[in-house]
Amino acid sequence: MILLSITENIHNWLFSIMPEGVASIVEMVLIAVVYLTIFAVAGLFLVLLERRVAAWFQLRIGPNRVGFQGLLQTMADAIKLLTKELTGTERADKFLYNLAPYFVIISALMALAVIPFTKEFHAFDINIGIFFLIAISSIGVIGILLGGWSSNNKFALIGAMRSGVQTISYELSVGLSLLTMVVITGTLQLSEIIEFQKNGWLIVQGHIPAIIAFMVFMISGTAETNRAPFDMVEAESELGAGFHTEYSGMKFAYFFLAEFINMFIIAAIATTMFFGGWLSPFGITESIPWLGVFWFLAKTMGLVFLMMWFRWTFPRLRVDQLLTLEWKYLLPINLVNMVVMALIVWLNLTIRF
């Protein structure tokens, strides 16, 4: 309730000192600034966490020089990227080349706005939340395709083409695994889905089909974010840096940062859909509102660690293996799983009536 009272006070104060239209715009700008701050801080933290996890898996030390225990290393890297020269190829399509990173970063930011951190900390709670997330996640690949094509580099173009095929393929499994859980809740609104889980997380209520849907979602989500072992898009040994080979400075940083934020978003969606979002396992979140943020972030970071575990454990797949996994295995499993879930829900309703 503390956050709600603060936002209400700011709302009332703005509308008391300026016209209604101007106050609404100022409110939107303030919310955008808050989310941009979260975006930047989360990106820097996840990069540091990735390097620490990689070092742990490979029995190395990791960042340990800049700041206490290397905590300021990613800040130093960000400053370095800010000061680097923005280079590009002479024959690149300048307009599309410069536009591409913004497609990727804005789509990630828009998806982040729908994520419910707590009951009070939710910027954009709409009744088609799941549909909105699936639609927005499709926009990011446009930036990758534009960046690869406009760079006038054959390696960047191949990386971009791979990304298009991979993202379009695995979006099907991501969407179907989420819809499998929507069958239980009967709503696309994320806040209502979390409220539905007050009597038990969906991964428990949904029995075996929910567990299968979670496993498929995490595999497909990892593939959709172009992370190892599904990182054929930027296979260093074959394509240099893939679709962002010709990017440098902050434009490269946008692509790099968006990958980590998308990883956080996938983990946050899984937390919301399968593990009760901000709800505490012990049922005390309602009495201590800020505890909801802790539980949400704890569950999300646990799933982020799982995705990092994937990266530093499994070898990279070939392109044919990557597409075979989706079209011959995950998609049929998802379709059957959704039918089974619908039967379970129908049988439960029949027994009740």
What is the tens place of the pLDDT at every residue in 98-141? 899 999 889 988 898 899 988 877 878 888 889 999 888 888 88
**Tens digit of pLDDT for each residue in 6-16?**
777 776 777 77
User: Taking residues 221-238, what's their average pLDDT?
Assistant: 76
Dist. CA 243–CA 238, nearest whole Å? 12
Q: Over 50: is that where the pLDDT of 197 sits?
A: yes
CB-facing half-sphere around the CA of 12: CA atoms within 13 A: 6
Tens digits of per-residue pLDDT, 299-336?
999 999 999 998 888 888 888 888 899 999 999 999 99
Percent of the chain with pLDDT over 90: 29
Cis peptide leading into 315, omega within 30 of 0? no
pLDDT grade, residue 284 (50/70/90)?
low
- HSE on the CB side for 17, CA within 13 Å? 8
**Average of per-residue pLDDT across 46-70:** 89
Mean of pLDDT values over 158-180: 88
pLDDT grade for 353, boundaries at 50, 70 and 90? very low
Give residue-wise pLDDT tens across range 16-35: 787 878 878 888 888 888 88
Q: What is the mean pLDDT of residues 26-45?
A: 86
DSSP state of 65: S
Asked if the model's pLDDT at residue 46 lies above 80, the reply is yes
| Residue of 232 and 175 predicted with greater confidence | 175
Angle, helices 289-311 vs 207-224, to 10°: value is: 70
Helix, strand or coil, per DSSP, at residue 220: helix
Query: Would you state the pLDDT for residue 180?
Result: 93
Residue 168's pLDDT band, with cuts at 50, 70 and 90, is: confident
Question: Is residue 77 within 8 Å of 66, Cβ to Cβ?
Answer: no
Per-residue pLDDT for 69 more than 90? no
Burial 285-320 (b: 16+ CB within 10 A, else e): beeebebbbebbbebbbebbeebbebbeeeebbeee
Query: Does pTM surpass 0.85?
Result: yes
Q: How far apart are CA 47 and CA 70, in angstroms?
A: 12
Q: How far apart are CA 220 and CA 226, in angstroms?
A: 10
Average pLDDT of the chain to the nearest whole number: 85
pLDDT of residue 23: 79
Report the pLDDT averaged over residues 197-220: 91
Q: Most confidently modeled of 178-187, 227-236, 313-322?
A: 178-187
pLDDT higher than threshold 90 for residue 94:
no
pLDDT of 352 > 60? The answer is no
Q: What whole-number distance in Å separates Cα of residue 338 and Cα of residue 331?
A: 11
pLDDT of residue 36: 87
